[in-house]
Amino acid sequence: MLLVGAGHAHLVALRQWTRRGWQPPAGSALINPDDHAWYSGMMPGLLAGRFSREECAIPLEPLCEAAGLELILNRVDALDTEDRSLQLWQSTRNYELLSVNTGSTPASPTESDGSIPLVPAKPFRGFISAWEQWQQARSTPHLAILGGGPAAFELALSLQQSLPRLRMTLVSDRPLLAGHPKKLASKARRFLHRKDITVIENHHIDRIADGRLYAKEDFVLKTDALILATGATAQSWYREAALEHDPSGFIRVDSTLQASGRADIFAAGDCISLPGIQRSGVYSVRQGSTLARNIPAALKGKALRKYQPQAQSLALLATADGGALMSYRGRTAQGRLCGLWKDWLDRRFMRRHRLR
Ligand SMILES: Cc1cc2nc3c(=O)[nH]c(=O)nc-3n(C[C@H](O)[C@H](O)[C@H](O)COP(=O)(O)OP(=O)(O)OC[C@H]3O[C@@H](n4cnc5c(N)ncnc54)[C@H](O)[C@@H]3O)c2cc1C
């Protein structure tokens, strides 16, 4: 059995298997490029100076050891479903049962002359290195964030907190926090305004030239670097493998979380396409419990459980000052209590998965 990616769902599955004493087949492994899993929920708090690096990353070796898996530090670049093999950097691995939980990457503007560094919010290790360079910069950088969802909002506030001389602009191709209650977006705009963060909404940046951002032919902004906190894109190897995928390249799965038409491949988290899901850690964590049941059942030839996406999910958006904005079932709130609630949930997740 090979697990690819230490995403939220696989972390939950490993923890549940260890708790239940289930032993994976001999030779099973987790493949991940980093020996730590960075927890996105706490990443803005790290940038805002509220958490240390150690508090935000889960060491994978102890988790794998406890679950009876080898940890392979590598990344998957191709999948051959006929041969049941994975192409890694400088090696290949065969599987009998595969599970994919490799997340997503933010989208970039379609045309760029390379005049502005593009800094994707993920992977986090790379993003943190860029942040450290901005901290050391002598002159005041002007940073722009592309994206208008919760991650872009949280990153804007936390960067402003840790880089006070910074000039920051958030550019979104739709209204801020579209899909959330309008009241939440209004609260978010007020927060950004108070911190002198400029917000440009309904501008789709599709071209970068001479250090400037353009929406079609219109000049929008001049910036020193562009942080990508845009919607999720799929990795190219999903599309290149003989797997069913949606038009954006995400792996289509059935309600058992098996790749459509494949009994030997599971997938979960941001990399999947399934009606009713959202691409967020909250959904991936829930899918982890289904994987934890279904993978052992599939290996024993037993009936599989169906995953039902939650109809509503709680959104808690950190405001970099220990507080948070909250929305649930159309209701919104803000303040220190919401922040304490978010911290409690995040720290609980970390406590459960940090074995050393
Ligand atoms: C700044 C920020 C804050 C966020 N805050 C929240 C929040 O508070 N709540 C929330 O619900 N969501 C939040 N999100 C969204 C959340 O991060 C994602 O939806 C979630 O991480 C998806 O989890 P996942 O299980 O799909 O995989 P991920 O947690 O993204 O993990 C994927 C893993 O796969 C590994 N990997 C990637 N490619 C390969 C490969 N080719 N081979 C092997 N391994 C690979 C990666 O190294 C990583 O370890 C935030 C996102 C950002 C950017």
Determine the Cα angle at 34 with ends 32 and 36, to 5°: 105
Q: Are residues 8 and 131 in the same domain?
A: no
Q: Are residues 199 and 339 in the same domain?
A: yes
Q: Are residues 171 and 284 in the same domain?
A: no
- pLDDT at position 140, please? 78
For the CA of 317, the closest atom of ligand 1 is 8
Q: Are residues 133 and 146 in the same domain?
A: yes
Q: Are residues 184 and 299 in the same domain?
A: no
Q: Does residue 292 contact residue 285 with C-beta atoms inside 8 Å?
A: no
Q: What is the pLDDT of residues 312-340, one digit of tens each?
A: 889 999 999 999 999 999 999 999 999 99
Q: Does the beta carbon of 31 sit less than 6 angstroms from any atom of ligand 1?
A: yes
- Report the nearest-CA residue for atom 19 of ligand 1: 280
Alpha-carbon distance 248 to 238, whole Å?
10
- pLDDT at position 141, please? 84
Does residue 21 lie within any of the structural domains? yes
Q: Is the pLDDT of residue 351 over 80?
A: yes
For the CA of 7, the closest atom of ligand 1 is 31
Q: Is the pLDDT of residue 304 over 90?
A: yes
Q: Does the beta carbon of 270 sit less than 6 angstroms from any atom of ligand 1?
A: yes
Q: Does the beta carbon of 155 sit less than 6 angstroms from any atom of ligand 1?
A: yes
Q: Within 13 Å, how many C-alpha atoms sit on residue 107's CB side?
A: 18
Q: What is the domain extent for residue 243? A: 2-33+74-104+234-312
Q: Are residues 193 and 308 in the same domain?
A: no
**Which of the listed residues 102, 124, 313 should we mutate to test ligand 1's pocket, taking the one with most ligand atoms within 8 A of CB?**
102
C-beta atoms surrounding 314 within 10 Å? 13
Q: Does the beta carbon of 9 sit less than 6 angstroms from any atom of ligand 1?
A: yes
7 Cα: distance to centroid of ligand 1 (angstroms): 6
Q: Does the beta carbon of 281 sit less than 6 angstroms from any atom of ligand 1?
A: yes
Alpha-carbon distance 343 to 339, whole Å?
6
Q: Are residues 24 and 122 in the same domain?
A: no
Q: Is the pLDDT of residue 62 over 80?
A: yes
Q: Within 13 Å, how many C-alpha atoms sit on residue 176's CB side?
A: 25
What's the domain count of the chain?
2
Q: Any idea of the CA torsion for 347, 131, 229, 281, to the nearest 10 degrees?
A: -20
Q: Does residue 187 contact residue 215 with C-beta atoms inside 8 Å?
A: no
Q: Does the beta carbon of 149 sit less than 6 angstroms from any atom of ligand 1?
A: no
Q: Are residues 215 and 334 in the same domain?
A: yes
Q: What is the pTM of this model?
A: 0.95
Q: Does the beta carbon of 76 sit less than 6 angstroms from any atom of ligand 1?
A: yes
Q: Is the pLDDT of residue 356 over 80?
A: no
Does residue 289 lie within any of the structural domains? yes
**Which of the listed residues 2, 3, 8 should we mutate to test ligand 1's pocket, taking the one with most ligand atoms within 8 A of CB?**
8
Q: Does residue 100 contact residue 234 with C-beta atoms inside 8 Å?
A: no
DSSP character at residue 217: T
Joined together, the tokens standing for residue 85 give: 């093999």
Q: Are residues 122 and 214 in the same domain?
A: yes
Q: Does residue 175 contact residue 185 with C-beta atoms inside 8 Å?
A: yes
150 Cα: distance to centroid of ligand 1 (angstroms): 14
- pLDDT at position 156, please? 97
Q: What is the pLDDT of residues 136-187, one digit of tens each?
A: 888 878 999 999 999 999 999 999 999 978 899 999 999 999 989 999 999 9
Q: Taking Cα atoms as reference points, which of 233, 179, 3, 206 lies closest to residue 112?
A: 206
Q: What is the pLDDT of residues 69-128, one digit of tens each?
A: 999 999 999 999 999 999 999 999 999 999 999 999 899 998 999 999 999 999 999 999
Q: Does the beta carbon of 43 sit less than 6 angstroms from any atom of ligand 1?
A: yes
Q: Are residues 135 and 201 in the same domain?
A: yes
Alpha-carbon distance 203 to 235, whole Å?
25
CATH at residue 343? 3.50.50.60
Q: Does the beta carbon of 24 sit less than 6 angstroms from any atom of ligand 1?
A: no
For the chain, where are the alpha helices, taking DSSP H only?
A: 8-20, 43-47, 53-56, 60-67, 124-136, 150-162, 182-194, 236-240, 281-300, 336-353
Q: Are residues 141 and 250 in the same domain?
A: no
Q: Is the pLDDT of residue 282 over 90?
A: yes
Q: Are residues 220 and 123 in the same domain?
A: yes
